[in-house]
Structure 1
Amino acid sequence: MGKLAICWLLLLPGLVRADTYLLLITGLTGEDSYRQTFTRWAGQLIDAARQAGLADQRIVHLTPEDPAVLPASEPDVTGSEVSGSEAVAPPIELPADATYRTGLSTREGIAQAIAELGEQIGAQDQLWIVLLGHGSEQGGQGYFNIPGPDISAAQFARYLAPLTPERLVFVATMSSSGAFLQDLAGPQRIVISATRSGAERYFAQFGEFWIAALDPQQGGDLDKDGKISLLEAFNYARSEVEQFYRNDRRLQTEHAVLDDNGDGRGSFEPQPY
């Protein structure tokens, strides 16, 4: 496993050095408590990107249904995994002032969004893809639960193959996301998965803390230099996940890893150069 050069990408305020694009994909949510959780995570991530200076025209958010009003209530993030085949909960809300692009998180919608971004992204630009939802693994292949047929890691890899950004950051926050590493890892790519393998199949808390790390008030700036690096956000989230399971007196069922050298194995504790 190589070591992460944190100068590659600074989340805040350096998210927008060169041109950075964000493709946020919310998959099937399952029961209502998960829908609320993923909606909150999506809102926090988009807020962080906007506050860092990312313009709405460089943000795309795909959701399982057309946007609609979300009932206000507290989310429950302690449940077990929900199958993508279960009924879709009510639609996901967009902020009232949203002008960023939206679409459906079907295979066709994902393929179209990536193709359109490919037409915009230059060789000096960066693309972030973040998956929020539920995952699964079958026969060693990772899947992301979406409306219609689930999308595999191999399909994501095919959609992304024509793109040549300076850096591609792929963050899979769902269960069984470790099964995405082999297919998505490669040169000029950073792949983060909430689990170390497809066998870790229970609901992953990693997304909660990784997104929280982007907020300077939450403590993600570990070295207190006024900037939050991708490495800092990963290490903060990993530590908070461990603390979550200790506090809850539960066996830790997720172990996030980061791959930045293309070997598809990932590291639990990546280090800066």
Structure 2
Amino acid sequence: MRAVCIASLSLTAQFVSAASHTVVISGLGGEPQYEERFRANADEIARIAEGLAEAPGQVVRLVGADATRDAIRRELKALAERAKPDDFVTIVLIGHGTYDGEEYRFNIPGRDITGSELRELLGAIRAQEQLIVNTTSASGATIEQWKQPGRVIITATKSGGERTATRFAQYWAQALRDGAADANKDEIVTASEAYEYASRQVAAAFEADIALATEHARIEGGDAAAKFTVARLGAAAVLATDPEVQALLAQRAVLEGDIEAIKARRDLLSDQDYYDELEAVLVKFAR
């Protein structure tokens, strides 16, 4: 079985030492329906992330009363200590957010945590590959504040002005278990695929309700989103528990992300440079 899976990956690779780290934070709901929904979304996202983790302790979940400002600061500082430059870091925020025209705030028990505080905490993380999924209302206000090279930022809203409670988190969670999100049918759901799926589902939900859409998702640094595996489906989910297969899957995700980034820059490159860069990546597949 292992041999078949490795062959199907169409590559051979050296063992990849990069680890994946995930922090899922669900803030205040304010009303019972939101409390229940936010908790369910956080639980599902964290559970699926645990299935991707290479070792125990790589997934942290802060929900409800546990998601205080002090707890968030503590966990993100701890993440900054343990995440290495070659690691992959994913942080998911679920709940309500606000924006007053100057500062974004994530609504949590006690004193809210600001976008400026979160920017500082995120900036201390050494991992060069970072995925931030902010599914809160007004989350679009954080894109300009948090963007940096190597960081993919996905927000439920296009700006801080979209302040209504969002639906994006539930469809992001759904993308992690729905084969329809797997656009290329390789039994791996990337952040890029999950974003496209969740965005479509949000739009369809508003259309079904015959309601004006109050949220429009955005992605920054999307060229690198294909590097992030956010779920495995079917046989890939079972076989990925094998350490050797885990290494190959991680390597493939990185290489496929590199290829997508080159394709996105096609118009900026000469034919020679384009094919030279593609060849350099493809050579890695053949090693």
Q: TM-score, normalised by structure 1?
A: 0.73
Does 1:237 find its partner at 2:172? no
Contact 2:135-2:155 at 8 Å conserved across structures = yes
Contact 2:20-2:58 at 8 Å conserved across structures = yes
**Aligned twin of 2:185:** 224
Q: Which amino acid aligns with 2:80?
A: G
Q: Describe the shift of the 1:143–1:247 C-alpha distance in structure 2 as closer, same or farther (beyond 3 A).
A: same
User: Structure 2 CA distance, aligned partners of 1:165 and 1:63?
Assistant: 24
**Aligned twin of 2:40:** 40
Q: Describe the shift of the 1:213–1:120 C-alpha distance in structure 2 as closer, same or farther (beyond 3 A).
A: same
Does 1:110 find its partner at 2:92? no
User: Structure 2 CA distance, aligned partners of 1:43 and 1:112?
Assistant: 20
Does 1:249 find its partner at 2:182? no
Describe the superposition over 1:51-76 as per-residue Cα deviations: whole angstroms up to 9, x where unpaired: 334544101111232xxxxxxxxxxx
- Point out the structure with the larger helix share: 2
User: Structure 2 CA distance, aligned partners of 1:107 and 1:182?
Assistant: 22
User: Structure 2 CA distance, aligned partners of 1:204 and 1:17?
Assistant: 37
Q: CA deviation at 1:145?
A: 0.2
Describe the superposition over 1:22-71 as per-residue Cα deviations: whole angstroms up to 9, x where unpaired: 11111112111111101110121122112334544101111232xxxxxx
Q: How does 1:43-192 map to 2 (within 5 A)?
A: 43-65=43-65, 104-192=66-154
C-alpha RMSD over aligned residues: 1.9
SS of equivalent to 1:219? helix
User: Structure 2 CA distance, aligned partners of 1:28 and 1:35?
Assistant: 7
Q: Which amino acid aligns with 2:160?
A: G
Q: CA deviation at 1:105?
A: 1.7
Q: Considering only CA atoms, is the larger Rg found in Structure 1 or Structure 2?
A: 2
- Which stretch shifts more, 110-119 or 45-54? 45-54
Q: CA deviation at 1:200?
A: 0.5
Q: CA deviation at 1:204?
A: 0.7
**Aligned twin of 1:100:** none
Does 1:19 find its partner at 2:19? yes
User: Structure 1 CA distance, aligned partners of 2:99 and 2:154?
Assistant: 17
SS of equivalent to 2:181? coil
Q: Describe the shift of the 1:199–1:109 C-alpha distance in structure 2 as closer, same or farther (beyond 3 A).
A: same
Aligned residues: 211
Which of structure 1's runs of 4+ aligned residues deviate more than 2 A? 50-56
- Which stretch shifts more, 202-211 or 159-168? 159-168
- Return the structure number with greater relative CO, CA threshold 8 A, min gap 6: 1
User: Structure 2 CA distance, aligned partners of 1:193 and 1:175?
Assistant: 9
Q: Describe the shift of the 1:47–1:157 C-alpha distance in structure 2 as closer, same or farther (beyond 3 A).
A: same
Contact 1:212-1:218 at 8 Å conserved across structures = no
- Which stretch shifts more, 248-257 or 105-114? 105-114
**Aligned twin of 1:11:** none
Q: Describe the shift of the 1:38–1:56 C-alpha distance in structure 2 as closer, same or farther (beyond 3 A).
A: farther
Q: TM-score, normalised by structure 2?
A: 0.70
